[in-house]
Structure 1
Amino acid sequence: MVKQDAETAEPHRDGDPGGTAPAGDDTARDDLAGAFGGNVRHHREQAGLTLEQLSTRSSVSRAMLSKVERGEKSPTIGVASKIAHALDVSLSDLIGAPGNAASGAAVVMRKTDRPVFRDPETGFERHIASAAPGAGRAELIVHYLPAQVSTGLLPAYPPGTEKQIMVLQGTLTVAIGGISEALDAGDSLFFEADADHGFANRTDAPCEYIMVISRRS
């Protein structure tokens, strides 16, 4: 079942090829798309890249990139990941990670203040849970996968990037370089993220899991 996911870089909802819009009002979605697009443009210009050059690097069409930057289109998790990797930044940088500095013994971020990425086709959600993401090499993320949804195959991270996962509820299938593992609530997984990988929920119940992304250098 995971092999099907490994053949596509786009998110997929089983039994619903067209996908469905995520929960929430149109204004919230427009705000998210605008913030994401503005960050893409900022990092592209900072890197001195044209839209054409970014298109070549990311394998995302110039038309799509233009719509994303203008906030007219919310990218899927697959497209967003390609853009982030092409810009050599984290997906959290494009979502809008909180700018809290580790200036004290403790930094607090309330759940209601989490920056969130929502896939417009599947309802997949990526919540940045790190209160001070710039304070270290590790990043804390919470993922929500609706029933019968997969992220598709996501691009490999730079060498030295590691991921650890713990499932909070539901069942998660993780595909890494042609190998798959099914994890139930309470199960954990560690893997080197320098290979293409993807996440799938093959059940009729939602799945929630914590991910820690760490970089050795």
Structure 2
Amino acid sequence: MRDVVEAPDPVDVRLGARLAALRAERGWSLEELAERSGVSRSTLSRAERAQTSPTASLLNRLCAVYGRTMSRLLSEVEAQPSPLVRAADQPVWEDRASGFVRRSVSPPHAGLRGELVEGRLAAGADLAYDRPPVPGLEQHIWVLDGTLEVTAEDTAHRLRAGDCLRMRVWGPTRFRCPEGSADTRYALAVVLP
């Protein structure tokens, strides 16, 4: 019996191509990007060739190096932006390794500073970002369902349905859905500085 090789996800293919283009625009080798991002050369190469689906943590590191938000990066691999995006057409990206699902709610537009994202974390999911994609990024986190633990610059916040946390992100952050609790769903408003 032969092993079935799955075709790469089309979004991963476009994302890989965009990551390669961003690196090429700066004239960086994979080695230079690895040094700047703290991500191994082999992982970067696999992501650019869509041989692996990048994790949220990996994309966050690359967004920090390229000075853009994750939403902006993901919108760059979608079709031409429209001022209206129907719910069925809003791009969804999943980090299967961590149990994180991200839906870009706002219509993408490179010239605007704000965007709205829906995040879903499975019980026990734990997302740690070592740096913001853009220093000073403003975030408003509104929990719609469940419980969300957010840690920013060593300050922990436990948010429940209806709670909203506003913060500016300068350092590491962590988003966690506690073990044994229901899945968490939240709205994240992101505003560039």
Report whether the alignment pairs 1:75 with 2:51: no
Structure 1 regions of 5+ residues with no counterpart? 1-25, 102-106
Deviation, 1:38, is 1.3
Structure showing greater relative contact order (alpha-carbon pairs closer than 8 Å, 6 or more residues apart): 1
Deviation, 1:135, is 4.4
- Of 167-176 and 46-55, deviating more is 46-55
Using the size of structure 2 for normalisation, the TM-score is: 0.88
Give the direction of change, closer, same or farther, for the CA distance of 1:153–1:100 in structure 2 (3 Å limit). closer
- Which of 180, 185, 190 is the equivalent residue of 1:208? 185
The 5 A counterparts of 1:29-178 are 30-97=9-76, 98=78, 99-100=80-81, 107-178=83-154
Residues 1-60 of structure 1 show CA distances to partners (whole Å, capped at 9, x for unaligned) of xxxxxxxxxxxxxxxxxxxxxxxxx66x62232122111111111222211111111100
Give, in whole Å, the separation in 2 of the partners of 1:149 and 1:129: 22
Give, in whole Å, the separation in 2 of the partners of 1:118 and 1:154: 19
Using the size of structure 1 for normalisation, the TM-score is: 0.79
Give, in whole Å, the separation in 1 of the partners of 2:118 and 2:107: 13
Give, in whole Å, the separation in 2 of the partners of 1:91 and 1:79: 10
- The one-letter code sitting in structure 1 at the alignment partner of 2:15 is F
Residues 79-104 of structure 1 show CA distances to partners (whole Å, capped at 9, x for unaligned) of 11111111222212332355426xxx
Give the direction of change, closer, same or farther, for the CA distance of 1:206–1:95 in structure 2 (3 Å limit). same
Q: Judge conservation of contact 1:35–1:95 (CA < 8 Å) in 2.
A: no
Q: Judge conservation of contact 1:157–1:193 (CA < 8 Å) in 2.
A: no
Name the SS of the counterpart of 1:147 in structure 2. Answer: coil
CA-based RMSD of the aligned residues comes to 1.8
Give, in whole Å, the separation in 1 of the partners of 2:160 and 2:167: 17
Name the count of aligned residue pairs.
Answer: 185
Give the direction of change, closer, same or farther, for the CA distance of 1:207–1:198 in structure 2 (3 Å limit). same
Name the SS of the counterpart of 1:175 in structure 2. Answer: strand
Give, in whole Å, the separation in 2 of the partners of 1:120 and 1:38: 21
Give, in whole Å, the separation in 1 of the partners of 2:31 and 2:124: 35
Q: What percent identity do the matched residue pairs reach? A: 29
